[in-house]
Structure 1
């Protein structure tokens, strides 16, 4: 029979500005009774759910072997985000400081709850908690730090910030950024709007990129997310999408998506054979092609609102371009050299070479 009980843990409440964090210890074997590991996914309506990366089994096994050895120790604290069901009962405050108060953390435990109904989420320490769960140990107390979160948006923000000094997978960060609120490092803040556009393009049924962009929630996609992000970021700051962007990092996303769908829909229709192939088989869907054709979009439609662009003329320009490109076969006839169709790589020098080559044909 499933248990329902209250876990009462000695804790220290620490004030940081207008917020509080709670420092406490808990048996790692009990952690998963009230803590969910929320892995990133999308629901039936393509909305983002969760925020954690998938478990890395080899890493977990290595930690487990260490934990089962003599003298094992995990000094780094796990980070948990609580919902408002978790409460703190303060004790007697310290005489000399007013920013820390001892007391008890009150956590409701109900083993009948599903993962998404538990009162705590693991923000940092996924592999460590999994290793403790699987280890052949009766108990293993761990240090933990918790905070009360207002919702999953804040949890995602904290997840990115907590892991900002670690090598998080770029695909995971890019998928989390659109649904993240709060302060972000400048490099992440600059990528947030392009990431929102990328997710919209990958989940909008009218987009040429629908389901094509590889990401944690779209693992079957074959177009590299980073190449698409670079194309979008350049257009937002220096190209056709700049006209829809506000200086605070916001903008008219609907107009941006409309502009992108119109242009890339034409690219797909004018080069159907090259567009349907993977980047290994086509330089159009390869990083160098995505970025170079993004420059073509900026060159042909820059500073012209989507409703005033002559898409008929844009289409004709793309049609006129067909004899001069070698997306899937043949050779690129550059002014100073010839390259096999797949001789172009996603490097700054090759991107510059292709971009300059396309300029005379896209006036």
Structure 2
């Protein structure tokens, strides 16, 4: 067979508003000749891809089922095509004006790399892998495709398609900052916090000098597993501040947008002082330091809100925040000793957990100390 050829498949073009989708059948054994699975990863600070790695145990289970006599996969694969794929309408008269019978023409070039193939698998990664590996001659499957305008739209469709499925939260947090188009309300609300977290973790420089973000490389995500601060801890801290704290002044509560650069500057200024105040504690993982634990990150976030609320990022250096933070040095048991919350309540340093009660207990203790 030649290296370059066209796969022609009977298809139904369906109009949805101003867009078209294409429903067709294809042998699952040939799907990987024109599709690629865009697994999420980073190139420098830029996010690339959007799918979780293949789950081998799940693929093996599907493969065993496909090799059984009565195997059936009724769910359609979802593909995002690039603009090399085209549809040719047939000559038969359409019964309804929103659907057209015709032929989907998919170019296949076996010399191309994975990233240059004509389609991306948006949904059905594990099913297609199982068909590929199954000991069967062919296994036709239903498929639905659309022409994507770019990788941002592919991510958006991936999130929407998987909205009813239990996607890993960390993967969603990584995808949200670069996703465009309509999103469910719960994801739209988290898009700005996810963007701020991503920038904090991956930016090299401040906006105003040559110092780096105090969170750079420290937040654990699917593409940065070497980080030790949990992404959800940082997200909660940012969300709390956006809701009714120091970052609220920069946001538009109606559409969840905001002045990202000023928010970043505000966060970096305060948390750089935290790092300078507790340098050893900041460089330890949560099991060795409650400062980088969820309870510490959230409590210090509330401290940021109390000290800097209604103060713009440009004015923060005038507050002399180093003094109130220094008051915490003698009373914080981030890595050793005991927390003396009161005369009657003392706790071992590592007994604090990431629970609402412990976050509130630690926050009140820190704020009392600062205001004393």
TM-score by length of 2: 0.95
Residue 217 (structure 2) aligned to one of 208, 211, 217? 211
Does 2:330 correspond to 1:323? yes
Residue 341 (structure 1) aligned to one of 346, 349, 353? 349
Q: Which runs of 5+ in 2 are unaligned?
A: 205-211
Residue 236 (structure 1) aligned to one of 242, 245, 249? 242
Contact 1:2 1:112 in 2 (8 A): no
Q: Distance in 1 between matches of 2:2 and 2:115?
A: 17
Q: Distance in 2 between matches of 1:203 and 1:311?
A: 28
Deviates more, 1:30-39 or 1:330-339: 330-339
The offset of 1:96, in angstroms, is 3.4
Q: Deviations over 1:68-112 (max 9, x none)?
A: 111111100000001111000111455531111111000000011
Contact 1:299 1:362 in 2 (8 A): no
Q: 2:96 is matched with which residue?
A: 97
Contact 1:93 1:100 in 2 (8 A): no
Query: Hey, which bits of structure 1, 4+ residues long, moved more than 3 A?
Result: 92-96
Contact 2:246 2:309 in 1 (8 A): yes
Q: Distance in 2 between matches of 1:337 and 1:59?
A: 49
SS in 1 for 2:291: coil
Residue 232 (structure 2) aligned to one of 222, 226, 230? 226
The offset of 1:298, in angstroms, is 0.6
The offset of 1:313, in angstroms, is 2.1
Does 2:301 correspond to 1:294? yes
The offset of 1:237, in angstroms, is 1.9
Q: Distance in 2 between matches of 1:152 and 1:282?
A: 39
Q: 2:4 is matched with which residue?
A: 4
Q: Distance in 1 between matches of 2:102 and 2:370?
A: 69
The offset of 1:311, in angstroms, is 5.8
Deviates more, 1:71-80 or 1:89-98: 89-98
Q: Distance in 1 between matches of 2:132 and 2:322?
A: 58
The within-5 A match list for 1:147-158 is 147-158=146-157
The offset of 1:214, in angstroms, is 0.7
Q: 1:353 is matched with which residue?
A: 361
Q: Deviations over 1:231-252 (max 9, x none)?
A: 1111112111111112322222
The offset of 1:55, in angstroms, is 0.7
Q: 1:270 is matched with which residue?
A: 277
Q: Which runs of 5+ in 1 are unaligned?
A: none
The offset of 1:361, in angstroms, is 2.0
SS in 2 for 1:84: coil
Q: 1:131 is matched with which residue?
A: 130
SS in 2 for 1:128: helix
Contact 1:274 1:282 in 2 (8 A): yes
